[in-house]
């Protein structure tokens, strides 16, 4: 049973639904549900937060030619196949197999038609057991949107990014028939959604200006952080010893290595800082497709002795490493499009109480206020980045002040519990729209 409890706000009373059954759905295949980076961190924290608030959440995901429901992301072995319609029958599968082989031989663009049909049928079967269908938007994913309309289930869509725009900016544009199909699928999902969630104001603006989505249908809920996870006691001397860092001042970056993360600029800034503080060390916590590019820059700048790359680590290890950092960085370069994402690392840095140097770009500007809870630098400006890092490395009082302010704000504004309450208000609006 769903109970709506009235929660007063500074504006008007907002209803908070409790005890909901939520289907959190992802049509895209090939998603590593056990991953501790990117979208799965957001999804896992969202589902965990909803469960802590008394809601029941199942994740429905397309795995090969099956749709699987996962009631517990902490134990992916707990799963069940969702019943399909015609797409689960042998004749359909034979036809599909033949067409897929022809498709592959002719090197035709992937349009996800079979996947959307299969996911649609599974959701039509499953959604009557749920009160909300919440989809994490994917490219060419339209099955859940149509199933929600068919079953009259309130449909909430999280749009982390305009995937076509993202591909354009990253130099790998989606073109031709596949682009047209992706545009059509996105438009259908946007139109059928009762409520849309974005993680940043630039993403909302893009949906309004370029996709014609009504602004009142879009709510901005940035990423959040499990604050307590980053405030546990750590033996910093032991961590430094394990990494061979001694007493060196440490600049740190945490995240996947992508070209748009600006790690080349961070390395160039380190080279400048090391001329004044030769003992400084840079700890790059993570890995990713741009690692060869990062290593090329390390060798080019003769920084082999000053840079340590940890590789991918379990997320539980990140607070221990952050504890030894003197300065943490979000060094995004200047992009051809306003930055649309809401970096998880930023909120984790804040929760850890660290002195942050971040590019003044996108949603970051709404979170970091210069010289109040961090330092903002011009995107892509190596000298500006180096000067900010050097200033903090040489001024412990400023490091402590900025870190304390950032941590306090993480607790009051960016904890996952607060973001989940905002999500509940979105669910309430979706329920009331039916």
**Looking at residue 368, what is its pLDDT?**
97
pLDDT surpassing 50 at residue 3? no
Residue 289 DSSP symbol: T
Query: What is the distance, to the nearest Å, from the Cα of residue 408 to the centroid of all Cα atoms in its chain?
Result: 22
pLDDT surpassing 80 at residue 107? yes
* Kind of pairing between the strands at 3-7 and 14-18: antiparallel
In this prediction the pTM is 0.90
**Looking at residue 339, what is its pLDDT?**
62
Question: What value does the mean pLDDT take over residues 2-11?
Answer: 40
Question: What value does the mean pLDDT take over residues 376-402?
Answer: 98
| CA pseudo-torsion sign 350, 346, 72, 317 | negative
Helix 201-211, helix 176-192: angle, nearest 10: 100
Q: Vertex 253, ends 247 and 257: CA angle to 5°?
A: 135
pLDDT surpassing 90 at residue 338? no
Per-residue pLDDT band at 9 (split at 50, 70, 90): very low
- The residue that leads in pLDDT, 392 or 8, is 392
Q: Are 342 and 199 in contact (CB under 8 A)?
A: yes
Distances (CA, A) of 291 to 13, 184, 294, 303: 50, 35, 5, 15
Query: For the domain with range 3-224+416-432, which CATH number is right: 3.40.50.300, 3.40.50.1860, 3.40.640.10, 3.40.50.2000?
Result: 3.40.50.2000
| CA pseudo-torsion sign 340, 184, 141, 17 | positive
pLDDT surpassing 50 at residue 312? yes
3-class DSSP assignment, residue 81: strand
pLDDT surpassing 60 at residue 165? yes
| CA pseudo-torsion sign 71, 74, 78, 83 | positive
32-64 pLDDT, tens digit per residue, is 999 887 789 899 999 999 999 999 999 999 999
Same fold, 3-224+416-432 and 227-413: yes
Extents of the domains making up the chain: 3-224+416-432, 227-413
Percentage, residues of the chain above pLDDT 90: 86
**Looking at residue 90, what is its pLDDT?**
94
Query: For the domain with range 227-413, which CATH number is right: 3.40.50.740, 3.40.50.2300, 3.40.50.2000, 3.40.1010.20?
Result: 3.40.50.2000
Region of poorest pLDDT, from 87-101, 300-314, 325-339: 325-339
Region of poorest pLDDT, from 112-126, 293-307, 323-337: 323-337
**Looking at residue 363, what is its pLDDT?**
87
- Residue 68 pairs with which residues in a beta bridge? 61, 81
d(CA 32, CA 114): 21
Which residue, 2, 122, 132, is CA-closest to 57? 132
d(CA 291, CA 15): 47
**Looking at residue 14, what is its pLDDT?**
57
């Amino acid at each position: 049973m769903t109970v709506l409890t009235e929660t007063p706000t500074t504006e008007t009373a907002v209803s908070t639904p409790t005890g909901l059954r939520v289907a959190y759905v992802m049509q895209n295949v090939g998603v590593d549900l056990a991953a501790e980076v990117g979208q799965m961190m957001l999804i896992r924290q969202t589902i965990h937060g909803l469960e802590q608030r008394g809601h029941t959440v199942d994740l429905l995901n397309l795995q090969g030619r099956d749709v699987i429901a996962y009631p517990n992301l902490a134990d992916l072995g707990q799963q069940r196949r969702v019943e399909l319609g015609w797409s689960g029958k042998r004749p359909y599968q034979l036809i599909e197999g033949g067409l897929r082989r022809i498709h592959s031989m002719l090197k035709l663009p992937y349009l996800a038609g079979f996947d959307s049909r299969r996911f649609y049928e599974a959701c039509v079967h499953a959604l009557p057991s749920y009160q909300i269908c919440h989809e994490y938007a994917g490219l060419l994913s339209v099955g859940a949107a149509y199933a929600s309309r068919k079953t009259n289930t309130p449909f909430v869509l999280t749009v982390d990014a305009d995937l076509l725009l993202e591909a354009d900016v990253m130099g790998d544009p989606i073109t031709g028939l596949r682009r047209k199909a992706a545009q059509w699928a996105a438009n259908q999902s946007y139109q059928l959604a009762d409520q849309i969630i974005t993680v940043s104001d630039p993403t909302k603006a893009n949906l309004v200006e370029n996709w014609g989505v009504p602004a009142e249908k879009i709510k901005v809920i940035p990423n959040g952080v499990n604050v307590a996870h980053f405030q546990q006691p750590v033996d910093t001397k032991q961590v430094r010893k394990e990494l061979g860092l001694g007493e060196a001042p440490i600049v740190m970056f945490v995240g996947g290595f992508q070209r748009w993360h600006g790690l080349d600029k961070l390395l160039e800034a380190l080279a400048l800082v090391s001329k004044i503080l030769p003992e400084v060390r840079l700890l790059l916590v993570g890995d990713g497709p741009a690692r060869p590019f990062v290593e090329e820059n390390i060798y080019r700048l003769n920084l082999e002795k000053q840079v340590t790359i940890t590789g991918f680590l379990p997320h539980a290890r990140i607070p221990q490493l952050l504890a030894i950092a003197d300065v943490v960085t979000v060094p995004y370069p200047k992009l051809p499009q306003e930055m649309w994402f809401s970096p998880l690392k930023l909120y984790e840095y804040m929760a850890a109480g660290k002195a942050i140097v971040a590019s003044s770009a996108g949603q970051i500007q709404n979170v970091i206020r210069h010289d109040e809870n961090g330092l903002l630098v011009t995107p892509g400006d190596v000298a500006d980045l180096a000067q900010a890092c050097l200033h903090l490395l040489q001024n412990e009082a400023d490091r402590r002040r900025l870190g304390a302010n950032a941590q306090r704000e993480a607790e009051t504004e960016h904890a996952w519990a607060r973001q989940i309450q905002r999500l509940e208000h979105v669910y309430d609006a979706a329920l009331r729209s039916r």
